[in-house]
Structure 1
């Protein structure tokens, strides 16, 4: 099952046709038997009204439902092994738990072995039996999930665990310096250039995979002499005192045409306040309206009603009528860098284009060099194109271009979604550093409660287009008042506790 359900489900065929085709080719089963098998699996996957679902097309289902249908379709021919490539990437915590619970139920009932490829260590800690950690094309650690996560024996595994954000911790997670080689490294340890435990022999010999416990092995020259404790140099808590109000949204409503002359209300009378030097997070399930709200503030979407006051003046209802200064001072970082980086422009061309739009000619070159240094990217990347950068590098270029305009407000729409934990930690460090330097108000739209806990000052919880709870981050996480907020927190993978351990897999 591929990462994108678009690679597993044909958009032009009804669900029934796709089950029938798979079962006819793989099992030689007729239509009636195929339909019965499809209904059985869809019901097991928690799809409402499975018989009616067979008549629908993929676009008529939510993202979480599509993932469950794709899993059911993969299981239909009764395979012995199911390979899942990042099946929960970009899903909100509630949908993620539903999908994984459905997967576990179906795999158990069908007696199928599952290979779950994922960068979500917290999720794997709850659901996997064995864990294989790979780096530079090689297995660096392998063993029972409780053993590997509770007592990692390879420095890379330890670093990954330290980089996991958790609702139970208030500090920024620790990132891993440098970049992976992207290839198999011969004659030396591939992780040595990034390893804080590296010794001279680590670059002189290729370590073998060594047994370190019952069914537990690790590829490290120093595995017998190292004790890999949790990181002690985590970032400090980012909680800040409330700054002056820079932006206030009042009773914002966003509606979309839904065909047949009907309209769907995505945002329903939402009010929100952003303060200088503070980071405000908006969390909620997919479809809760959080991105629509962010797009209204950034000027990509016209509100159906309501008002936005920015720096003491009300913004025009039509975003096209905002002044050049207002557009410069409110910036947006997209979830996907494909929405913010032109593939035909080098990094340097992109940053100079942004500087040319907003800065005086005399300031442009110095500003580009300064912002590139601020996001910790080398100047040699200026000549590279987006396809030559890693995911984390592209996201940091996008953050750099937003802050290059010297904004008062930056809207970040799911900027860590789909990134592995080490890259995610580096992005969060970059965002926190840039915000502190520029005293900027940041609106972070996210479904990752661990990320929000680590970096946000205030939190708004949205459901069905409305804010159901808001408050200071520490207070809200310590004592959520709304049932929906409590359900979101319960659905989040229970990752690291304050001591850096995985309580869900404690031996």
Structure 2
């Protein structure tokens, strides 16, 4: 059984005094246990709107979202239903996702399914910190005492507190430097394999998605225009937009930075200064 099923999902944003925006148009997508599905596309293509619907933070305008075989209802209150706690989200900004006024130990346990006895809370917070490669004794510290990469590890630890079966990671390394990004990606993929979770990994970086995802879905103007095994999408792209994304990826050569081309003419692979995403 698939953990997540998006069936012909549409999302339209209505804005007062302005025309509605169709952010997502008929998207169908699945994520199975132990599988990493990458969703890639440039900024503004509808990825984050789809992520919010997939995790139950907002309702689709049309279509159905199922989690573990059951329709997922959008949360109307701040507290999520207990049967939806197995679906967690990691946001792209680690600086905004943690409260500066509370200790790390108390925030990590926000997502536990059942309240823990006081004597067990410290031990569980320490376990979560250790799981994401942080000092278990740092649970009494505050977010401002951690680096950006460490804060994203804290956000991951908080998501894991609920023992989720599925995690949606929405651009989780965008705000980080290259070294921290590599560490976070390695951590996430290792946890998925170790814990048997599923993960929907959302990014504008196709080369990153290729490196970690079993399958890749390419999103353009609110639609999935291509989906398949990551290596096939990378090596044999079928859609022109996928080819454009690949050709825009910098490749470091001995004398210059050139653009990787796939299924394009030599002229399309000449140096260019444009940046996709």
TM-score using structure 1 length: 0.48
Q: Give 1:404 shift.
A: 1.1
Name the CA distance, whole Å, in 2 between partners of 1:477 and 1:261: 38
Distance 1:361 1:264, change over 3 A: same
Name the CA distance, whole Å, in 2 between partners of 1:279 and 1:249: 15
Name the CA distance, whole Å, in 1 between partners of 2:96 and 2:176: 16
Q: Among residues 219, 232, 236, which one is paired with 1:475 in the alignment?
A: 232
Size of the alignment, in residue pairs?
A: 254
Distance 1:385 1:475, change over 3 A: same
The structure with the greater share of residues assigned to strand is 2
Q: Give 1:323 shift.
A: 6.6
Whether 2:136 is the aligned partner of 1:385: answer no
Name the CA distance, whole Å, in 1 between partners of 2:174 and 2:167: 17
Whether 2:124 is the aligned partner of 1:359: answer no
Whether 2:27 is the aligned partner of 1:285: answer no
Q: Give 1:297 shift.
A: 0.8
Matches within 5 A, 1:266-281: 266-281=23-38
Q: Give 1:368 shift.
A: 2.2
Is the partner of 1:338 in helix, strand or coil? coil
Name the CA distance, whole Å, in 2 between partners of 1:346 and 1:470: 42
Aligned to 1:36: none
Distance 1:339 1:327, change over 3 A: farther
> Structure 1, residues 414-453: CA drift from partner, whole Å, max 9, x if none?
1111322111111011111221222111111101122212
Name the CA distance, whole Å, in 2 between partners of 1:251 and 1:428: 29
Q: Give 1:381 shift.
A: 2.1
Matches within 5 A, 1:100-499: 244-260=1-17, 262-316=19-73, 318-320=74-76, 324-355=81-112, 358-362=113-117, 364-495=121-252
- The two structures, once aligned, show a CA RMSD in angstroms of 2.0
Name the CA distance, whole Å, in 1 between partners of 2:124 and 2:35: 23
Q: Give 1:306 shift.
A: 0.4
Q: Give 1:455 shift.
A: 0.9
Distance 1:504 1:314, change over 3 A: farther
Conserved 8 A contact 1:330-1:408: yes
Higher relative contact order, structure no. (Cα contacts within 8 Å, ≥ 6 residues apart): 2
Conserved 8 A contact 1:494-1:503: no
Is the partner of 1:361 in helix, strand or coil? coil
Whether 2:260 is the aligned partner of 1:505: answer no
> Structure 1, residues 367-388: CA drift from partner, whole Å, max 9, x if none?
3222211111002321221111
Q: Give 1:361 shift.
A: 1.6
Name the CA distance, whole Å, in 2 between partners of 1:276 and 1:305: 26
Instruction: Structure 2: give runs of 5+ residues left out of the alignment.
Output: 258-277
Q: Give 1:408 shift.
A: 1.2
Conserved 8 A contact 2:3-2:31: yes
Conserved 8 A contact 2:23-2:222: yes
Is the partner of 2:237 in helix, strand or coil? coil
Conserved 8 A contact 2:88-2:168: yes
> Structure 1, residues 330-376: CA drift from partner, whole Å, max 9, x if none?
11111112332111112112113333xx2342564443222211111
Conserved 8 A contact 1:274-1:443: yes
Distance 1:481 1:378, change over 3 A: same
Conserved 8 A contact 1:352-1:365: no
Is the partner of 2:241 in helix, strand or coil? helix
**Bigger Rg, which one:** 1
Name the CA distance, whole Å, in 2 between partners of 1:270 and 1:383: 43
Name the CA distance, whole Å, in 2 between partners of 1:248 and 1:430: 25
Is the partner of 1:320 in helix, strand or coil? coil
Name the CA distance, whole Å, in 2 between partners of 1:319 and 1:252: 17
